[in-house]
């Protein structure tokens, strides 16, 4: 009979270390952030986001998340300040979410998780020539993490969630002039620590900046993420894309600093 060969093998985080030994490294992400154990560092200035109105290019279901990619050929959209020594260029943003309720974020705060987490990925184009090179350097990437909590509709997230039906399967579609500045909470108070990518190759190249204040999105908007599929249109199985979050990793003596 027709032998189904699953194209879509979901590798769980607990076995990533077999192919990526760095998964058990000393600066892995995410982590559980314990606010009272974070060191308030008065030398930490505010994080500054200078995003151009029109550098977004497309939205893609890459088989493990939904990613909005940006034109990073110049410094039109950058993050700077805070723990960063120079501007980092916006490359893409993506989300992590659960299958229901308030599980889905990667970082947790005093053991509590949020329904989802948005990651804005930037790279150090001052020191490195390409994103790929920066992604393997200890100060190569800066990822801004924003928690999503359920409540009222988010006025601007609609632009993204209303486009998700077009990328139900592993495909891409155009998104013009989406400025992710509209996805920020009112306060830019943050925690920062040295960590890693949270999906393979798990490179320990990320300066994390996690905002304390979540943004509020509706259950309906969040539900649209859950109807995405890990699988491609050509595949028989339809595996819903959910729970695409890595659990917190050991701190291994790292200090979390707070701007608060």
Q: Which stretch binds ligand 5O6 (CB under 6 A): 97-105, 149-157, 174-182, 192-200?
A: 192-200
Question: Around Cβ 233, how many Cβ atoms within 10 Å?
Answer: 10
The single residue of 3, 40, 64, 203 carrying the catalytic annotation is 64
Q: Rounded distance, CA 118 to CA 121, Å?
A: 10
Is 91 a binding residue for Zn ion by CB under 5 A? The answer is no
Among 56, 77, 150, 199, which residue sits at the site for ligand 5O6 (rule: CB under 6 A)?
199
200-239 residues in contact with ligand 5O6 (CB under 6 A) are 201
> Contacting ligand 5O6 (CB under 6 A), which of 44, 135, 222, 229?
135
To the nearest whole angstrom, how small is the minimum distance from the Cβ of residue 200 to ligand 5O6? 7
- Provide, rounded to whole angstroms, the least separation between the CB of residue 146 and ligand 5O6: 14
**Residue 121 in the binding site for ligand 5O6 (CB under 6 A):** yes
Q: How is residue 92 written in tokens? A: 């893409």
Pick from 27, 89, 107, 119 the residue near Zn ion by CB under 5 A: 119
**Structure tokens given for 201:** 């190759």
Report whether 36 contacts 259 (CB < 8 A): no
| Least Cβ distance, residue 203 to ligand 5O6 (angstroms) | 7
DSSP class of 33:
E
Q: Which is nearer to Zn ion, 153 or 172 (CB)?
A: 172
Q: Measuring CA to CA, how many Å separate 40 from each of 36, 90, 191, 228?
A: 9, 27, 9, 40
Is residue 158 flagged as an active site residue? Answer: no
**Which pair of tokens denotes residue 235?**
């595949």
Q: How far is the CB of 132 from ligand 5O6 (least distance, A)?
A: 5
Chain-centroid distance of CA 31 in Å reads 14
* Among 244, 70, 96, 66, residue whose Cα is nearest residue 171: 66
- Helix residue ranges, H only, 65-157: 131-134
CB 81 within 8 A of CB 47: yes
Four-residue CA torsion sign, 149, 154, 159, 163: positive
Does position 138 interact with ligand 5O6 (CB under 6 A)? The reply is: no
Applying CB under 6 A, which part among 49-57, 155-163, 198-206, 234-242 lies near ligand 5O6? 198-206
Torsion on CA atoms 176, 152, 120, 255, rounded to nearest 10: 170
Which residue, 197 or 222, has its beta carbon nearer to ligand 5O6?
197
Binding site for Zn ion (CB under 5 A): 119
Q: Which residues bind ligand 5O6 (CB under 6 A)?
A: 119, 121, 132, 135, 197-199, 201
- Which positions are catalytic? 64
């Amino acid at each position: 009979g027709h032998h189904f060969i699953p194209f879509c093998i979901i590798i769980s985080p607990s076995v990533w270390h077999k192919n990526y030994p760095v998964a058990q490294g000393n600066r892995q992400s995410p982590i559980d952030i314990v606010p009272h154990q974070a060191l308030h560092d008065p030398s930490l200035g505010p994080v500054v986001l200078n995003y151009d109105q029109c550098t977004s290019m497309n939205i893609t279901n890459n088989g493990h998340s939904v990613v909005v990619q940006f034109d990073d050929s110049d410094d039109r959209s950058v993050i700077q300040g805070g723990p960063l020594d120079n501007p980092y260029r916006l490359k893409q943003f993506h989300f992590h979410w659960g299958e229901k309720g308030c599980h889905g974020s990667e970082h947790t705060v005093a053991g509590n998780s949020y329904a989802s987490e948005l990651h804005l990925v930037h790279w150090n184009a001052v020191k490195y020539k390409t994103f790929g090179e920066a992604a393997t350097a200890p100060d190569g990437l800066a990822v801004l993490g924003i928690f999503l909590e359920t409540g009222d509709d988010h006025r601007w997230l609609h632009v993204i969630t209303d486009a998700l039906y077009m990328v139900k399967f592993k495909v891409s579609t155009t998104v013009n002039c989406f400025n992710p500045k509209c996805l920020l909470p009112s306060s830019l108070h943050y925690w920062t620590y040295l960590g890693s990518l949270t999906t393979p190759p798990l490179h320990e190249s990320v300066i994390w900046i996690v905002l304390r204040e979540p943004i509020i999105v509706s259950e309906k908007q969040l539900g649209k993420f859950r109807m995405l599929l890990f699988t491609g249109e050509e595949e028989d199985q339809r595996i819903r894309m959910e729970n695409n979050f890595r659990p917190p990793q050991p701190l291994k003596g790292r200090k979390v600093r707070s701007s608060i």
